[in-house]
Structures are given as structure tokens and as C-alpha cells.
Amino acid sequence: MKKNSIPLFIGVICSLIAIWFVNDYLLVAQCVDNGGSFEYSKAECLLQNGEVKVSELGKYIMAIYFFMGILISLFVSFSIRKIFKIDQ
């Protein structure tokens, strides 16, 4: 693995972890707080009374994750390169 690709790899891993935590906060935690259970296979919140609750961010969530992933990945990789003074 080249020396230049290591910071980018670390940035991608950090962005995936951040997306995972944001997904847990935006979708899963709110579903559980409302007394439901989150069904991961369908990405739906099933409430105790049988209703399916849909998030208002459902239409935009993939775009949010995409831009969040790119920004975090670039920020982390540039920061690592600057801190450790890795030449490009």
C-alpha cells in the first residue's frame, strides 16, 4: 500500500463510522424512543400498535450520508497528511 493512500483509507473508515453513528441517532434511536422497534431489512420503524413510522428525512437521507461521507473523509485525510507531513 502506498504511503499516500493510507490517510485516505483512514478517512474513509472514519466517515463510515460517523455515518453509522448518525444513522443510529437519526433513525434507530428516535424509533426506540417512540416505543417501536427498528426493522433493519426494510429500514422502517414498527410501532407497538402496528403502525409503520416513516422518517421525514427519508427522501434526503442518502444525499446527507453521501455528502457527509465525502466531507469527513477529505477532512480526516487532509488532517492526517498535514499532521504527519506526508507528501502527495
Express each pLDDT in 16-59 by its tens digit.
Answer: 999 999 988 888 888 898 889 988 887 789 998 889 987 777 77
Q: Has residue 12 got a pLDDT over 70?
A: yes
Instruction: Give residue 1's pLDDT.
Output: 57
Cα→Cα distances 18→9, 84, 87, Å: 14, 23, 27
Instruction: Give residue 57's pLDDT.
Output: 78
CB 69 within 8 A of CB 75: no
Residue 88's pLDDT band (cuts 50, 70, 90): low
Mean pLDDT of 6-23: 94
Instruction: Give residue 44's pLDDT.
Output: 84
Tell me the pTM.
0.79
C-alpha cell at 68: 457527509
C-alpha neighbours within 13 Å on the C-beta side of residue 58: 8
CB 61 within 8 A of CB 26: yes
CA–CA separation, 54 and 86 (whole Å): 45
